[in-house]
Chain A
Amino acid sequence: MSGERLLTIDSLSVTFGGLDALKNLDFHVDEGEIVSVIGPNGAGKTTFFNMISGMVAPTAGDIVFRGESLLGFDPNQVTARGIARTFQNVRLFANMTILENVMVAQHCRTKQGVFGALFNTPGFRREEEEIRAHAEKVLGFFGTRLIGYRLHQPASVLSYANRRRLEIARAMATKPTIILLDEPVAGMNPKESEELTGLIGKLRSEWGFTIVMIEHDMNVVRDVSDRVVVLDHGETIAQGSFEEVSTDPEVIEAYLGRPVEGAS
């Protein structure tokens, strides 16, 4: 199933004003894997994503992507190297159209500048065509929801579920190797999250993305993950297949006795 090692995280730690958000975290992802990161609120999951994507600098440890350390990179450099992400509290460019949201995400894969735009050079026109075609292809992944008349509507008119979908589309448009999904089904109803679970599987099978996902919905986690990593208080407390993890006493304790199964 899994191929080459893509991302290796080596005893990563970060401290915010005396509070250890992450402590000596070790983590790895292989090509083609779907890994879920779970854990109670405040376990440091989003901080973990922020650190991979370069938005927060770790205090210690290393992040290595394809043999190259990502430490000190700006977020845009990380994305350019092939790690895209979505946000827990959906952050779209609300006043840009749906099409533009996805087009702008291809920025680091394109290169036309002022000159091309001003003189409308053939190269410029070709690239615009390509950007647009790729944008529509990506949006088409979600069926008809985000295309057609929707293309030219501002992202702010979308429903919550569609905003989540557009965020995923935007991450896909950056042509990444790994996509980091931060609670992709949060706020969706069971039917929608079931559908999205299927799509996450397709992200790997059809598009070839490797996926790291933070998720609270255990049904989703069980359905798609190859491997589950449990964080608590900034530390990895368990790791393995969903079945292994869900029966781990330490994990159950971390969730304060709440039955892991069926929690949503």
Chain B
Amino acid sequence: MRVRHAPRTRVDWFLTFLRFSLTALVTVGLLAFIGQQIDPDNFFARAVNDDASRLSWESIKDLVVSGLSQGAMYGLIALGYSMVYGVLGFINFAHGEVFMVGAMTGMITSNKLADGGLWESNFVLAILIAIIVSVLCSTMTAVLMERVAYRPLRGSPRLIPLITSIGVSFFIQYTSALLLGPGAKSYPQLPDWLRDDIPWLGIEGKKIVVLVVAAVSMAGLWYLVERTKTGKAMRAVAEDKEIASLMGIDVDRTIVTTFAVGGAMAGVAGILWGILFGSVTEFTGFLPGIKAFSAAVVGGIGNLGGAMAGGLTLGSSESLAPQMVLEPLGVTGHTQLKDAVAFLVLIFVLLVKPTGLFGERLSSEDRA
């Protein structure tokens, strides 16, 4: 008897075609980019794009750094998605709004501090206060959300809490718009040493700050999850809620803690957003939220290191791909497609490796 494999369906063929063509496009774009870097008049680069021109190393460095700093921010938000998914098995769509609340309250606090003069006189203290306030507010939002909207739905089909969280997300967005007024609101101006390039690196100070703060928060989270009793409880609940509760772990409290920790990380990310971009609107949470979820999936949902790595991957590909893939391919106005790139990365990863780059960690009942 000869082992014969099942015929592939048309959908399979189509997916293979998609995988192949996406890979091919990226490869051709990258090759053309390499070509134009070696010599803009290179035959290959010209063939792909008439206007090929060399990108200076300076601007590549800028792209990488801003990609990484944004990616670090996505990573911090992604942690919240990933933790909640790991523990409860649903996408908390409103987590982006928790981040927005952080950015919003950070804006309010820092403006108050700027009015009082502390922002100018002692920036470090002022930003610390702002961080503490926005972390508190974000945490509260996340905890409240869990209590009001998600706890009653525990154990219902996966899509029910997802739809609920979409509603929560809308509610928070428009609450913010109605309470604080719609439209963009600015942070006070950062001190010079953050706005200017750091001399020996040639990188803007604020981006370094963002990377450092993100790294510190990540380390703190890692310590919490891997080294403390609370963290152990969280991991146990993520693995199997029933067994965890039989072992004497307070499952409700642990879930609240999970939301709180995720909220805190989102709050930190909110302030970092303020530092990076200087303004915030009620819709600030939407796109970064979705992208952060994509980052969590790209890194492997439920996997905390993966979330951070996914964030960095997504941030840098979103920053680099328009210049390094789309432009060499001759796409005009490539920066307008920056957001589309993030979603394409998500789709690509799900097509090629649905469990994410670093593997999923889900509780027994959610592993499908």
- Asked whether the complex places CB atoms of A and B closer than 8 A, the reply is yes
Q: In the complex, which residues of chain A have a beta carbon less than 8 angstroms from the beta carbon of B4? A: 68-69, 71
B6 touches A72 (CB 8 A): yes
A255, CB-defined interface residue at 8 Å: no
A194: Cβ under 8 A from any B Cβ: no
Bound CA span A70–B1, Å: 12
User: Which B residues touch A73, using CB under 8 A?
Assistant: 6
Candidates B1, B3, B5, B6; contact of A67 at CB < 8 Å: B1
Q: Does A205 contact B (CB under 8 A)?
A: no
Complex Cα gap A77–B8 (Å): 11
A62 touches B3 (CB 8 A): yes
- Report if A74 contacts B (CB, 8 A): yes
**B1 A71 Cβ-Cβ under 8 A:** no
Interface size class of A (residues with CB under 8 A): 10 to 19
Residue of B nearest to A77 (CB): B6
Question: Residue-by-residue, is A57-91 near B (CB-CB < 8 Å gives 1, otherwise 0)?
Answer: 00000101001111111100100000000000000
Chain B residues whose C-beta falls within 8 Å of the C-beta of A64 in the assembled complex: 1
B1 in complex: contacting residue of A62, A72, A74, A77, CB < 8 Å: A62
Closest to B9 in A: A74
**Is A74 a contact partner of B3 (Cβ separation < 8 A)?**
no
Residues of B within 8 A of A70 (CB): 6
Nearest Cβ distance between residue A152 and chain B, in whole angstroms?
A: 24
Q: Please indicate the chain A residues that have their CB under 8 angstroms from the CB of B3 in the complex.
A: 62, 69, 71
A78: nearest residue on chain B (CB-CB)?
B6
Q: How far apart sit A15 and B4, CA to CA, in the bound complex (Å)?
A: 22
Bound-complex Cα distance A69 to B2 (A)? 8
Instruction: Tell me which residues from 27 to 74 in chain A have a Cβ below 8 Å from any Cβ of chain B.
Output: 62, 64, 67-74
CA distance A175 to B83 in the complex (A): 46
Q: What residues on B are CB-neighbors of A71 within 8 Å?
A: 3-6
In the complex, what distance in Å separates the CA atom of A71 from the CA atom of B4? 7
Question: In the complex the two chains form, what is the Cα distance from A10 to B241 in whole Å?
Answer: 39
Select from chain A the residue with minimum beta-carbon distance to B5: A72
Nearest chain B CB to A17 CB, angstrom units: 11
Could you tell me the distance between the alpha carbons of A152 and B347 in the complex, rounded to whole angstroms? 42
Bound CA–CA A68/B5 (angstroms)? 9
What does the 1/0 interface line of B1-45 toward A look like (CB < 8 Å)?
111111000000000000000000000000000000000000000
Distance in Å from the Cβ of B156 to the closest Cβ of chain A? Answer: 14
How far, in angstroms, from A10 to B6 measured CA to CA in the complex? 17
- The CA of A73 and the CA of B9, in the complex, are separated in Å by 10
Listed by A's residue number, 22 A-B pairs whose Cβ atoms lie within 8 Å are: A8-B1, A10-B1, A62-B1, A62-B3, A64-B1, A67-B1, A68-B4, A69-B1, A69-B2, A69-B3, A69-B4, A69-B5, A70-B6, A71-B3, A71-B4, A71-B5, A71-B6, A72-B5, A72-B6, A73-B6, A74-B6, A77-B6
Interface residues of chain A, those whose CB is within 8 Å of chain B, are 8, 10, 62, 64, 67-74, 77
Q: Using a CB–CB distance below 8 Å, which chain B residues touch chain A?
A: 1-6
Q: Which 3 A-B residue pairs are closest in the complex by CB-CB distance?
A: A72-B6, A73-B6, A72-B5
Q: Knowing that A69-B1, A69-B2, A71-B4 touch, tell me 19 more A-B residue pairs with CB under 8 angstroms.
A: A8-B1, A10-B1, A62-B1, A62-B3, A64-B1, A67-B1, A68-B4, A69-B3, A69-B4, A69-B5, A70-B6, A71-B3, A71-B5, A71-B6, A72-B5, A72-B6, A73-B6, A74-B6, A77-B6
